Structure 1
Amino acid sequence: MRRITPALCLVTALLSAQLSAPPLAAQTADPGISATINGQIEALRKDDFDRAFDFASPTIRQLFGTAPNFGTMVRQGYPMVHRPGAVRLLELRDVAGRLWQRVMITDTEGRTHLLDYEMQQGPGGWQINGVQILPDPGPMI
């Protein structure tokens, strides 16, 4: 039997609270945030991983090191972002001082995915500091 560490419990609790928290000051997408997300997705559609990597925050750039490494991660972990059918930006939320842009992506097979993009302001504008694939809520009745 695996032992769950207190740190893992804390991370799980924080992530669950963040994903279930109601939006604070929900609003429509900021034009700069929209341009950043859409710019990265367009670069990914063209397999221009150098350009897509330019939209990442310094933390993400340091984590992956190179644009090819970043491209491999996107292709393997986020295929719906690499080859989206349709992209729609939903609400922008402030959760505990961090901005999260909800994005709905319909993949090329017609499946819908909800993602949260953590956005941060950098010296040159908005940057993507991480993307979370949200759990499928199942059919809405």
Structure 2
Amino acid sequence: MSSTQTRERRCELLAAAAPEEIVPLAERLLADGSIPEPTVLKGPETGMAVLQVREPVEESRFYLGEVLVTECSVDVAGVPGWCMRPGDDRIAALAGAVLDALAAAGSPATAEIDALCAAVAERRAAQDAAEWADVTTTTVVFEELT
């Protein structure tokens, strides 16, 4: 079974998932013994990453500043997994890397991981829609004088 997510999108959604969503899932999948023990290639490390944003009018990119992130990479049965999450939660970064590797390997857990990613995507879309609804009330409409 292969994942319906692109790897980039899956990593984005695992990074946005709440720790209480991804940590228990990874722990349960590891505890049931159906998957090989992961090998940690790069233990969870906390550091800074440059945050690039796009200016909305001219759409030019610029560096806003640095953000705290935690990165981790693992190998599960020869398939690499990677995760970079905002903040300093090392356990969640490790869990995200394990879930990424399992999904990339097409493990039986892929459907469950995809379902988690879909739930995170829906939640983010709802948050974006709510934010947009708040912003649109401030829209100024100009009339052209002739």
TM-score, with normalisation over the residues of structure 2? 0.24
Higher RCO, Cα 8 Å, sep 6+ = 2
Q: Max radius of gyration: which structure?
A: 2
